[in-house]
A and B are shown apart, each in its own frame.
Chain A
């Protein structure tokens, strides 16, 4: 079945460092891909999405490009801030009714 694999955390970086969180997927057809962010004690917020190959999703300085040839959707940010500390989930939707999530990557940004 469809699945998402993302790098395990926690990831600890200093403020202003470059961030990459790797994500690869297995799916039939052409899924939509997402990154969600979960701040402590809160629900999930959609960070960005891409619906077809070579699309780039971007929001709040974060970017991810839908790479069908490598089945990847890596999350990047050029300069992280302390406020970016959260858990990040890579996810896909290959049908209308459910989203399949990776296990999440906890990110700690040190001031």
Chain B
């Protein structure tokens, strides 16, 4: 059983469209992070959310942590080809900061 379920698994859109990626669990996380990974590279941290209901914005990216700290979403406005990549959510249980990762959403933004 996957602790963190990400949806959709694949997403192919045109430049300029908006999109939302979801990360859901039945577990409560002390913090949740979003990473982006490009081919041949390691994941790169985008944001960390720690408070239930928290919303963070990073330029065209908006991240939300659910009130119960069990789920999160990533919304991209006016997607660009440079946004193409694998988006991973990862949750930390307790205080040891061991991260459990979702399987990821592979986003392709076509020019």
A and B bind:
no
Chain B residues with CB under 8 Å of chain A are none
Chain A residues with CB under 8 Å of chain B are none
